Amino acid sequence: MRQKERLQSREAVIAHLQNLQSGDVFDIQFVSQGDVRLKTRLVGFLEGQYFVVSLSGQARKEYRDVLVEGNGLVVRAMAESLGGACIAFKSVVSGVVSKPHGVLFFHYPKVIELINLRQQTRLATHLPVAIFDASDTLEVGEPLAGIIHDISPSGCRLRLKWLKSQGKLPLTQVRLAIQLATREQAMSVFAVVKSQQHDTHTDLSLGLSFIDPDNQRSFAQPELVEIFKKLQIPGY
């Protein structure tokens, strides 16, 4: 199910664009000629200033009519660290360089759209959760408290307090104690951390995939499947 989310705050835009990495595939559509599209790869970016993507010699020849400073673009990129979400935004060509390597510069966006391409529907929630370290090597002390903002039988996204100055949260495998209204005791779920980024200087967002603790493989949590069926969520 495709779901779109428009992000306009500077902090949110920067936080999500930081998930893009060198080598990620970019699909660039030239606004002046809507049927002209170029697939290329990210070289890098300067926060708030510009993006740089690679440009082969063949591409420079084939697209020379539209590779012009000032031309409008629609840029789409897959962010695997966001669970396969597509990041899309409008931009403008700011420069084309041919030597020593061909690259295309375009402006850093002020507004982006997140397009959720997941096959499973995620349910928006506000569930309290306790986060425990489930690995054998890492320790973060007492369990962390967070709030699950969306959930499916196979994963969730939650937010917790973790200062940006503290760096990356040192967790890879976790055990979640999720408090559901349908049961007295919290439901225990094991998961792996797939992504993390700061939405603000104090709030950290984690993308998690549920796993079977016995074989470490991803799986759909049976109890959540039943809940989704009872709620008549599409796809269940």
pLDDT tens-digit profile of 78-109? 765 555 568 999 999 999 998 888 999 999 99
**pTM for the whole thing?**
0.52
Task: Cite the DSSP H helix spans in 18-123.
Answer: 57-62
Q: What is the mean pLDDT of the chain?
A: 83
Q: What is the pLDDT of residues 148-176, one digit of tens each?
A: 988 878 888 899 999 989 988 988 889 99
The most confident of 31-35, 45-49, 78-82, 206-210, by mean pLDDT: 45-49
Which residue would you say has higher pLDDT here, 197 or 34?
197
pLDDT higher than threshold 50 for residue 137: no
CATH topology of domain 123-230: Thrombin, subunit H (2.40.10)
Q: How far apart are CA 41 and CA 53, in angstroms?
A: 6
The structural domains of the chain, with segments of one domain joined by +, span 3-116, 123-230
Dihedral angle sign, alpha carbons of residues 56, 86, 206, 152 = negative
- Residue 220's pLDDT is 75
Q: Which helix (H) or strand (E) holds 196?
A: strand 187-198
Which residue would you say has higher pLDDT here, 6 or 218?
6
Average pLDDT over residues 69-79: 89
Residue closest to 211 by CA, chosen among 173, 183, 185, 178? 173
The pair phi, psi for residue 227, each rounded to 5°, is -65, -45
CATH superfamily of 3-116: Electron Transport, Fmn-binding Protein; Chain A (2.30.110.10)
Residue partners of 87: CB distance under 8 A and separation at least 6: 16, 17, 19, 20, 76, 77, 78, 79, 112, 113, 114, 115
Q: How far apart are CA 100 and CA 84, in angstroms?
A: 33
- Residue 1's pLDDT is 44
Share of the chain above pLDDT 90, in %: 31
Residue partners of 146: CB distance under 8 A and separation at least 6: 128, 129, 130, 131, 158, 159, 160, 161, 206
Say if residues 64 and 113 touch (Cβ distance below 8 Å). no
- Residue 104's pLDDT is 96
Tell me the C-alpha to C-alpha distance, in Å, between residue 8 and each of 14, 16, 112, 114, 163: 10, 11, 7, 11, 22
Task: Cite the DSSP H helix spans in 99-206.
Answer: none
Banded pLDDT at 138 (limits 50, 70, 90): very low
Q: Is 226 helix (H, G, I), strand (E, B) or coil?
A: helix
Which residue would you say has higher pLDDT here, 213 or 134?
134
